[in-house]
Amino acid sequence: MAKPTSAPAACHIFMMRAVTRSASVRRTDPLPPSKTPRPLLPLPAHTRIAIVGSGFSGLGAAIALSHEGYAEDLIILERRGGVGGTWYDNSYPGCRCDVVSNLYSFSFAPNPNWTETFSAQPEIERYLQATARRFGVLGKVAFGAALEEAAWDADRALWRIDTSRGSLTADFLIYGGGLLSEPFIPDIPGAASFAGKAFHSSQWDHGHDLTGRKVAIVGTGASTIQFLPVVQKSAGQVTLFQRTPPWIFPHLNRPTTALERAAYRLVPWTQKFSRARSYWMNEFLLGRLLIRNDVALGRIEGLARRFLARQVADPELRAKLTPTYTPGCKRLLQSNDYYPALQRPNVTVETEKIVEVQPGGVMTADGVLHEIDTIIYGTGFRTTNHPMAEKVRSADGRTLKDYWAQTGMRAFCGTTVPGFPNFFMLAGPNTGIGHTSLVVMIEAQVAHIVGAFRALRARGARQAEVLPEVLERWGADVQAKAAPTVWNSGGCSSWYLDDAGRNTTLWPDYTFRFIHKTRHFDPADYALSGSGSGAPTTAPEPVAARPSRGAASS
């Protein structure tokens, strides 16, 4: 799956070392993990820290804060039946990460036993489950507890939280649900009248047999290019409704060798070196081109055109599949089997606009009714209008959506917003990346949050709220940096941009600069107030025994 999350870590990043090298995640068989519901953890009436989500963000925050001494003072609210976040939801056939495995993992929990250089969804989900178990936070997850609303109570200086399993209060609220968690399904006239089966790729109906079916696939994003080749093999007919073709490059995935896995286990610095090499290559080769909208993107386009020409001989189909925008303006995708699948006898690429869905099919602008019995939406996620913004309220009743109505989504370091004390976001506004792994951004944000807790504890305070002028400067700087990038000026519309054309999703600079700014918590950027020790109920572990800052190359 194309990075529903993505990430690296390098020199000068906040790193948490593994507690023990011997506890590395073990290789398991390739069968998908069980979705059997786990026993439900009772919700406490009150907790010091409530974390929403158990993907990379939520688990990363829980592990770091546990090792700061807050292990008994936190709970993870998870709406699903298991940990993994987007890697739990997205179980569609062919789902795979498009960031190398050594980079798409926690810096403090390397896995020497990745079976492929670019891991498939089941293996990433198992990695997150094993990491949660290994660092002792799996037992802190309250499954089936979807966030319904959270409101700041200024009189009591706490968050009142309503979930699908009941209510609780918390001194701190950390949102780790990510921006790629709410599927986007286009509002097509007549969609509700469709008599067949329809579902989004992130809500795959594994009980619906596609054998012999007439399948419509709507959208041509990162998920579609992975599941379409699988669907094509069993479906009777596949019609791909394409609005905008993506730029596609060869996928370099391969099985890892026994020698590589042995080296990673026995000589851990070899895996650290592999991770650092991947990070810096992404940063200074691809990252530089996208950030500067460099003329060298023309050479990238040439590579993609040659790949398309090698794989698609028919000039008419090749013309349909050729983008008209600068590479990188939309996600750069990787696949070796997408183009071949489109040329199978049972696949049709339809470029006419969908105007209506009828009970028996899909009508396009040219007046043709395409007979369909299954619709699969590969249409991405709600990023610039995430429903989370409607659920989090300040003391005066304003939601985050209200706060962002005029400015678009923004948060200091992608993490904090004025008027919402003791509220932190992970993988928030302008933390997405178009060239590397999101986990590096998440780890930098986690370091920022840990710094906030340390500052509160040192001052005997209980509230942290970013200053409005600090966010104003941050937001202005982000938008100024975004303007010349390929994402803003590459000639396309994408989910990176909101309705006003602002880039509220991606970080428009090198990630090491984000790391440098974010991992250091400067109390001068915040109003720290209220009385209270801020101390955890359990003492922190000795420094040598818990994850801490370490070498950037890990």
Angle of the 511-518 helix axis to the 438-459 helix axis, nearest 10: 10
Which of these, 261, 233, 247, 216, lies nearest to 362 by C-alpha position? 216
Measured between alpha carbons, how far is 554 from 543 in angstroms, rounded to an integer? Answer: 18
Q: What is the pLDDT of residues 226-278, one digit of tens each?
A: 999 999 999 999 999 999 999 999 999 999 999 999 999 999 999 999 999 99
Q: Is the pLDDT of residue 30 over 80?
A: no
Higher model confidence: residue 233 or residue 180?
Answer: 233
Q: State the SS3 of 390-401.
A: HCEECCCCCEHH
Instruction: Return mean pLDDT, the chain.
Output: 88
Measured between alpha carbons, how far is 9 from 108 in angstroms, rounded to an integer? Answer: 10
Domain ranges for the chain, please list them.
21-182+382-545, 191-252+279-377
H or E, element range at 441: helix 438-459
Reported confidence tier of residue 176, pLDDT bands at 50, 70, 90: very high
Measured between alpha carbons, how far is 550 from 531 in angstroms, rounded to an integer? Answer: 33
Global pTM value: 0.88
Q: What is the pLDDT of residues 81-115, one digit of tens each?
A: 999 999 999 999 999 999 999 999 999 999 999 99
Residue 467 vs residues 36, 144, 416, 446, 527: alpha-carbon distances, Å: 45, 35, 10, 19, 6
Largest CA distance in the chain: 71
For residue 489, the model assigns a pLDDT of: 80
Higher model confidence: residue 448 or residue 435?
Answer: 448
Q: Look up residue 99 and give its amino acid.
A: V
Using the Cα atoms of residue 89, residue 91, residue 92 and residue 96 in order, give the sign of their dihedral.
positive
Span 191-252+279-377 CATH architecture: 3-Layer(bba) Sandwich (3.50)
For residue 75, the model assigns a pLDDT of: 98
- 242 close to 400: Cβ distance less than 8 angstroms: no
For residue 328, the model assigns a pLDDT of: 86
Q: Look up residue 355 and give its amino acid.
A: V
3-state secondary structure of 164: coil
Chain-centre distance for alpha carbon 17: 23
The 10 Å CB-count burial string (b at 16+, else e) for 102-114 is: bbbbbbbbbbbbb
Sheet holding 347-350, edge to edge: 197-200, 374-377, 214-218, 237-241, 347-350
For residue 348, the model assigns a pLDDT of: 97
Q: Is the pLDDT of residue 158 over 70?
A: yes
- 102 close to 114: Cβ distance less than 8 angstroms: yes
Compute and round to an integer the Cα radius of gyration of the chain. Answer: 23
**Phi and psi at residue 214, to the nearest 5°:** -95, 100
Measured between alpha carbons, how far is 515 from 401 in angstroms, rounded to an integer? Answer: 27
Q: What is the pLDDT of residues 351-360, one digit of tens each?
A: 999 999 999 9
The whole-number average pLDDT for the span 268-292 is 90
Reported confidence tier of residue 383, pLDDT bands at 50, 70, 90: confident
Query: Going by C-beta distance under 8 Å and a sequence separation of 6 or more, which residues neighbour residue 258?
Result: none
Q: Is the pLDDT of residue 550 over 60?
A: no
For residue 533, the model assigns a pLDDT of: 56
Q: Is the pLDDT of residue 396 over 60?
A: yes
**Phi and psi at residue 117, to the nearest 5°:** -70, -30
Higher model confidence: residue 20 or residue 231?
Answer: 231
Dihedral (C-alpha) 108, 113, 117, 120: value to the nearest 10 degrees?
-90
Fold of 21-182+382-545: FAD/NAD(P)-binding domain (3.50.50)
Q: Is the pLDDT of residue 362 over 70?
A: yes
3-state secondary structure of 403: helix
Q: Look up residue 495 and give its amino acid.
A: W
Q: Is the pLDDT of residue 302 over 70?
A: yes
3-state secondary structure of 218: strand
Measured between alpha carbons, how far is 165 from 56 in angstroms, rounded to an integer? Answer: 23
Q: Is the pLDDT of residue 11 over 90?
A: no
261 by Cβ neighbours in 10 Å (0-12 / 13-18 / 19+) ranks as middle
Reported confidence tier of residue 284, pLDDT bands at 50, 70, 90: confident
Q: Is the pLDDT of residue 374 over 50?
A: yes
Same fold? 21-182+382-545, 191-252+279-377: yes
Q: What is the pLDDT of residues 37-59, one digit of tens each?
A: 566 899 999 999 999 999 999 99
Q: Is the pLDDT of residue 537 over 80?
A: no
For residue 545, the model assigns a pLDDT of: 34
Least trusted range by pLDDT, from 149-158, 316-325, 386-395: 386-395
Least trusted range by pLDDT, from 18-32, 261-275, 466-480, 508-522: 18-32
The whole-number average pLDDT for the span 511-521 is 93
Reported confidence tier of residue 126, pLDDT bands at 50, 70, 90: very high
Q: Is the pLDDT of residue 500 over 90?
A: no
List the structure tokens of 235: 């479906």
Q: Is the pLDDT of residue 470 over 60?
A: yes
For residue 552, the model assigns a pLDDT of: 30
Q: Is the pLDDT of residue 7 over 70?
A: no
H or E, element range at 488: helix 486-489
For residue 444, the model assigns a pLDDT of: 97
Q: Look up residue 507 and give its amino acid.
A: W
Measured between alpha carbons, how far is 509 from 192 in angstroms, rounded to an integer? Answer: 42
For residue 67, the model assigns a pLDDT of: 96
